[in-house]
Amino acid sequence: MTLKIYGISASRAARPLWAALELGVPFEHIAMTYKAGATRTPEFLAINPNGHIPVLIDERAEGAITVWESMACALYIARVHGKADGQTIAPATPREEAEALRWSFWTVSELEADALAVLMHRMAMPEDQRKPELADKAESRLKVPLAVLEKHLQAQHAKGEAYLAANRFTVADLCVASVASWVRPAAALLAQYPALSAWLKVCLDRPAQAQARAMK
């Protein structure tokens, strides 16, 4: 098998796993955790010196290619293992490519930290360790990027396109939805963005997303 994806699905490794499953690309899943220093061993630091999952290794005739950073992993899978035929999640035109790039970078710079604070302090952490005031502040800041996303989706609908980059689900949607999903514990906040909420549900209802979630 040429493609290896390191990282349990309950982590940012969900992004490359989801991308590979969308495309039906065969891959080996090394379901390693990120807990208890598992990503800080000399062996793992040799493949990702940052000490994080996910990591993707693509064994190719020209040599092995290592990709880390979850968005880069998902974009790489779509670009290198997808067909740019306007049917798959792979960007098929310069515009689709631009949308995939800008929304992925936007997600990590404008959305991810506050979305993670909501997830952790509203739901994921043990209740006695949660700090609701951190979630409150994150929710308040999230109103800006969520409004940007809502406006873009409404403009897309006005053009007859149901997704971020096109009138089909692409890797742009996958990258943004994988992080926007962390805001779901803030149900009242999300409800203020109807186009976003409807789009997010459609993305998360995809069979490949359910398959990724069900993996180790």
Ligand X SMILES: N[C@@H](CCC(=O)N[C@@H](CS)C(=O)NCC(=O)O)C(=O)O
Interface contacts to ligand X, rule CB under 6 A: 11-12, 34, 39-40, 51-54, 69-70
Residue 36 or 188 with smaller CB distance to ligand X? 36
Rank residues 67 and 89 by Cβ distance to ligand X and give the closer one. Answer: 67
Nearest distance from C-beta of residue 66 to ligand X, angstroms: 13
Judged by beta carbon, residue 53 or residue 174, the one nearer ligand X is 53
The amino acid present at 207, given as its one-letter code, is P
- Angle, helices 171-180/194-204, rounded to nearest 10 degrees: 110
Measure the CA–CA gap between 170 and 19, rounded to whole angstroms: 9
Q: How far is the CB of 10 from ligand X (least distance, A)?
A: 8
Closest residue by Cα to residue 119 from 109, 128, 130: 130
Q: Match 């994806």 to its residue by tokens.
A: 5
Rounded distance between C-alpha atoms, residue 213 and residue 17, angstroms: 9
Nearest-approach distance from CB 12 to ligand X, in angstroms: 4
C-beta closer to ligand X: residue 118 or 153? 118
Find tokens 């490359």 and name the residue.
16
Query: How far apart are CB 51 and ligand X at their closest, in Å?
Result: 5
β-sheet bridge partners, residue 68: 55
The CB-of-170 to ligand X minimum distance in angstroms stands at 19
Query: What 3-state class would DSSP assign to 11?
Result: coil
CA quadruple 121, 38, 59, 96: dihedral, nearest 10: 10
Output the smallest distance, CB 128 to ligand X, in A.
22
Looking at beta carbons only, is 73 or 153 nearer to ligand X? 73
Decide whether 173 or 193 has the Cβ nearer to ligand X. 173
* Alpha carbons 182 and 141: distance in angstroms, whole number: 15
Nearest to 192 by CA among 138, 150, 141: 150
